[in-house]
Structure 1
Amino acid sequence: MNRFDVKEAWSTRDFNRYQEIAANNLLYDHRLRAYTPTKWFSPCFEHKIEDAIDLIANGTQQVTCEPKFAKNVNSYSIPSVLPELKVVASIFRSLNLAQKVEIEYLSRSSGRSTRVIAPHTLIKTGNFVYVRAFDHKSGEFRSFKLNRVIASRESEITLDEHQKKAFDPDWNTKENVVVGINGSPENPEAIAFDYGLESGELTICMNKALVPFFLSDWNIAPLGFNDLPDRLFPLKVLKINTM
């Protein structure tokens, strides 16, 4: 009703019509007071995963206007590699319902494996999308890259209290990341102007779990890597203070 700005009677009519089209897709859960997908759910409509992520993360959807208003504009971005929506739909549902989900995941360190995770937050970075979750395999909270999920399905394992977001130490720890100019560029004032540095520094406060993404997206040299070329890494971390 909120999403499409329609009245309850019209919403009921839409649900009834959908049930006629796909009678085996939804069941009414009296405990949740909502319709839930069945285990054999098969979508009647195809949606782009990018649109689903924007809707979940920002509550918005993109609108494409044709023709373009200006013909002399060129933009470039690295194309993101994301799985099909049906592959990760169970993860999105578990985020909303605070439930666990079983995934097949391709890790850089351990290869392909089956894991049970308890997702609590979707993380959008410059080039990738991650899900922050408690991982049964390691017994820790970790960030999983969405495009490495090969399959996902609902899990019957109960979510324990210590596996919720409130108990994620890196998520609930704030850090002040102080960055400054890296190396000895010819015109450091240009870099200071680019990034809004004041007195040669910029302090960003964020969750500890988000610091690696921040450094990667901004091409900031981490602590202990002072020899990275300033043309590729115009900024470097000067210090990190835990709050």
Structure 2
Amino acid sequence: MATPDLETTRASKLSSLTKTQRERLSHIDFRLYFLGELRRADVVDRFGTGPAAATRDIALYREIAPENLALDNSDKVYRPTSTFTPLFDHAPQRVLTALSQGFGEGIGDELHPLLRCEIPSALSLPAMDVLAPITRAINRGKAVKLAYTSIDSGRTEKELVPLALVDIGIRWHVRAFDRKHHEFRDFVLTRMEHPEVLETSEVLVEERPEADIQWSRIIELDFVVHPSHKRPAVVEMDYGIASGQTLHVRVRAANAGYMLRRMNVDCSPDHSLKGPEIALWLKDPLALYGASNARLAPGYVDPNPSRTIAAM
């Protein structure tokens, strides 16, 4: 564990480096921390630099954190020491993605995981000729014209102003303003056909992201271990909850129902749901009131049952 003075010194040295240098040192840090070994070729292969440049990068890392690595002369590999303290904060999701899918060295569908890892096959993925126009429209603030097939209305022609992509675990959808219904809704990417960016169509103020109240509204949710769970300590370990404490989560109102269903959170007023998949209970289900898709949350009872969810 690095001392406060050492951390300050390290931070000062890192801040004086260029972004490119920090990226290369972060990669060195990553391989030492999560793979337990570093070769000069690892830097060369990742960044396309020459051996001399890779040697300089490793020397720079050693200058900043000499106590972090030692050369194993038996096979000329650097290994983390017992006192290793990472130089960088490594986000868990990015670490797991890198370990399971590599750093993007693959072309097309080719992946190069950094160690043995199994990823469930995605059963619902959008076509790239559908996704690309949508992402262009989001990035540039444009509208799109497309054909869309919904459960309620079948196949219709639509004009949408896409706001964001959303991954709900089982599929991807697009948050967008629907010009026909004059409101923001969610649209499944795999149900779209032939999207075309409308280059000359003006996007009005009421169609822009800041006008989407459900997207802008942040809901504060408090989860506790489900009172009926037979192994509360296991749930506390899984979710990093201190004994008897709550797990505090902030989520967009537009996405709350999807998240709660994906996590199998019991949102009933009396924690009445049962089953081994139910680990958490929402302490105050009324926190969901006003969220457009709250009814998707397991066990949720809407105080105003006359409200409906806009069909996707």
Give the alignment's TM-score, normalised by structure 1: 0.65
Match of residue 202, structure 1, among 247, 250, 256: 247
Per mean C-alpha deviation after superposition, the further-off stretch among 157-166 and 216-225 is 216-225
Summarize the alignment of residues 171-186 of structure 1 with structure 2, pairs less than 5 Å apart. Answer: 171-186=215-230
Unmatched segments (≥5 aa) in structure 2: 1-46, 48-96, 98-102, 290-312
User: In the alignment, what sits opposite 2:156?
Assistant: 113
What is the deviation of 1:100? 0.4
What is the deviation of 1:160? 0.4
CA distance in 2, matches of 1:143, 1:200: 34
Residues 102, 116 of structure 1: 8 Å contact kept: yes
Match of residue 222, structure 1, among 267, 280, 283: 267
Summarize the alignment of residues 116-135 of structure 1 with structure 2, pairs less than 5 Å apart. Answer: 116-135=159-178
CA distance in 2, matches of 1:137, 1:166: 19
SS in 1 for 2:136: helix
User: In the alignment, what sits opposite 1:142?
Assistant: 185
Structure 1 residues 69, 195: closer, same or farther in 2, change over 3 A? closer
1:27-81, Cα deviation, whole Å (9 max, x unpaired):
xxxxxxxxxxxxxxxxxxxxxxxxxxx9xxxxx8464238x744xx5x2524232
SS in 2 for 1:220: coil
User: In the alignment, what sits opposite 2:112?
Assistant: 65
Summarize the alignment of residues 70-109 of structure 1 with structure 2, pairs less than 5 Å apart. Answer: 70=116, 75-109=118-152
Structure 1 residues 151, 223: closer, same or farther in 2, change over 3 A? farther
Residues 95, 121 of structure 1: 8 Å contact kept: yes
What is the deviation of 1:125? 3.2
| Equivalent residue pairs, number | 182
Match of residue 211, structure 1, among 242, 252, 256: 256
Root-mean-square deviation (Å) = 2.8
CA distance in 2, matches of 1:224, 1:140: 30
User: In the alignment, what sits opposite 1:162?
Assistant: 206
SS in 1 for 2:181: coil
SS in 1 for 2:258: helix
Residues 105, 112 of structure 2: 8 Å contact kept: no
Q: Which has the larger radius of gyration?
A: 2
Residues 119, 133 of structure 1: 8 Å contact kept: yes
Residues 228, 274 of structure 2: 8 Å contact kept: no
CA distance in 2, matches of 1:175, 1:134: 21
Per mean C-alpha deviation after superposition, the further-off stretch among 97-106 and 197-206 is 197-206
SS in 1 for 2:222: strand
Structure 1 residues 96, 225: closer, same or farther in 2, change over 3 A? farther
Q: Which structure's residues are more often helix, by fraction?
A: 2
Q: Return the letter of the residue paired with 1:210.
A: N
SS in 2 for 1:221: coil
What is the deviation of 1:183? 4.7
Residues 223, 238 of structure 1: 8 Å contact kept: no
Unmatched segments (≥5 aa) in structure 1: 6-53, 55-59
SS in 1 for 2:221: strand
Residues 127, 190 of structure 2: 8 Å contact kept: no
Structure 1 residues 224, 161: closer, same or farther in 2, change over 3 A? same
What is the deviation of 1:85? 0.9
